Chain A
């Protein structure tokens, strides 16, 4: 009887457990199959985080690999004022403010006011220098924390600012290379969806979906940091000495149009763009135009030589002026030179001589050669905000324009256009498109920029003849101040009047310039120096030539170019 009861109990118990197990299994099977999606969704909502993974902005280097711009994560200091209490609940805001103030160089009252403003969360300082962040972190102050934020850094300060441009607070490239190559440099952000625990740690066994970020491309520029530094140093010095309102210098490699340096004054520090005025942000080498003055005579003579209407020894009788279109165009100070060859026209920079050459050439051909040399159109340099300059259509030329344009008045050019044109003269007659980015490196490897030969503008023979004439201009002529011991130099000065808004020329203010290349034979660099309103006025070409000389001396030594003269 006892055994029977025991067996019955056992059977009931067994049946109960079997039924319960069946029930649990069924329920489990339900949640694992039919209800799985619902459970997963609810669990995911509780623990998953969906983050945008920022792409690393590309590094910009000079032609020798020196870093010009790069991005690092810096610590931004934030505050949660409600947590600024000690264990007893005592308010620590005044203490935290007083401790932070000397480190941040801020008044304690300002920090305290920010903490007591009612904000639940606020940035105290963004992107702190690393040592400052480390000092604050070591204090373990209540209610403070750090968050990483990317910052674009320019280790050479303001050097190369006009070429590089800058990155604004939203991480968008502006001006220069940063602006022109904004898409390539910025890359593509990724996405990371992960499950996290309550301490915000990623769960190893949790959900994980990752689309990796594609970092921005690294760029290597044609810019040479050493040359760029010399150019900016000399430009700053001459602008200060001459109390000039501005200035710009362009250095090109005439063999392929590579830009070795561009400087523009006034300039700015990319790390403190907010403090710069709008004028300082303008790269005058490409975004500003001026009447080039007598540097244009080399182009007029090049055109006439190439057309075969003159030779270096073609002569005319100089009477101090030329009459064209019913207007009398004088030499500087109306000086009379008498019998003059074309070589002497350049060496003495005679306006009447340039008019003589242009008259031989004719307006149609002069206009065609100006366009062929690239004036009146963008050079195509890979920098933001390039302007075209103005060469009016031939149909709009008055008869006198043939004369004035022959010596650089009545048209406007950018300094880079002039440098490109002189590079064509220097390299044997080929106009190259100037370029700044030498190569781009992405995940697939390095992509080098192929120099672009735009067109042949003059023959090699014309080029060689003109180089000889421009060398004579430096050796024996008006540009003698640009002569360099040990090296042959070819070049031409320019003094231009400044048009006013009323359509007249500004009184007693000039733009002084020098365009030249060195060594004259097998040239390594073309340098264009432009000074706006130097205090030397009509003699402003002398400081321009001195600046050319200082830059050439440094750059030739640096490049170890062997002297070509005793």
Chain B
């Protein structure tokens, strides 16, 4: 009877160890899967970030193109604008003398 009890306890102990190991492996797999999924999500977000940066760079270039003095001049001519013939300049000394 004592022998049977020992064997049952041993059996239960080994079974318990095996089940624990199994659960530990399951836990590890669950974590690994979660990390992998998070990794894929991080990659997707990184790709999205890179694409937004690229789109931003394209907009910066478009802005530079629109600001280009050559384009502005052409556009001004198209609108019928002309250069000012003269530009009045106020001399500070003359202004100061009147005060």
Contact = CB atoms under 8 A, between A and B. Distances in A.
Nearest to B36: A204
Given A155-B64, A201-B40, A205-B35, A10 B7 contact: yes
A205 B39 contact: yes
Contact of B64 (A14, A130, A148, A156): A156
Nearest to B68: A156
B7 A157 contact: no
A153 interface: yes
A203 B39 contact: yes
A130 B54 CA distance: 10
Given A10-B11, A14-B11, 17 more contacts: A17-B14, A66-B67, A67-B64, A70-B64, A72-B58, A72-B61, A155-B68, A156-B68, A156-B69, A201-B43, A203-B39, A204-B39, A204-B42, A205-B36, A225-B69, A226-B69, A233-B70
A202 interface: yes
Interface in B1-27: 3-4, 7, 10-11, 14
B43 A229 contact: no
A155 B73 contact: no
Main secondary structure of the interface of B (DSSP, over half): helix
* 8 smallest beta-carbon distances between A and B, as pairs: A204-B39, A155-B64, A229-B69, A155-B65, A67-B64, A156-B68, A72-B57, A204-B36
Interface string A51-70: 00000000000000011001
A557 interface: yes
A524 to B, nearest CB: 15
B91 interface: yes
B93 to A, nearest CB: 11
B79 interface: no
Contacts of A486: 89
Given A67-B60, A201-B43, A7 B69 contact: no
A73 interface: yes
Contacts of B40: 201, 204
A10 B61 CA distance: 79
12 contacts: A14-B11, A14-B14, A17-B14, A67-B61, A153-B61, A155-B68, A156-B65, A156-B70, A202-B39, A204-B38, A205-B39, A233-B73
B69 A203 contact: no
Interface in B29-84: 32, 35-36, 38-40, 42-43, 54, 57-58, 60-62, 64-65, 67-70, 73
B68 to A, nearest CB: 5
Contacts of A225: 68-69
B70 to A, nearest CB: 5
Contacts of B35: 204-205
Nearest to A561: B89
Contacts of A73: 54, 57
A14 B10 contact: yes
Nearest to B10: A14
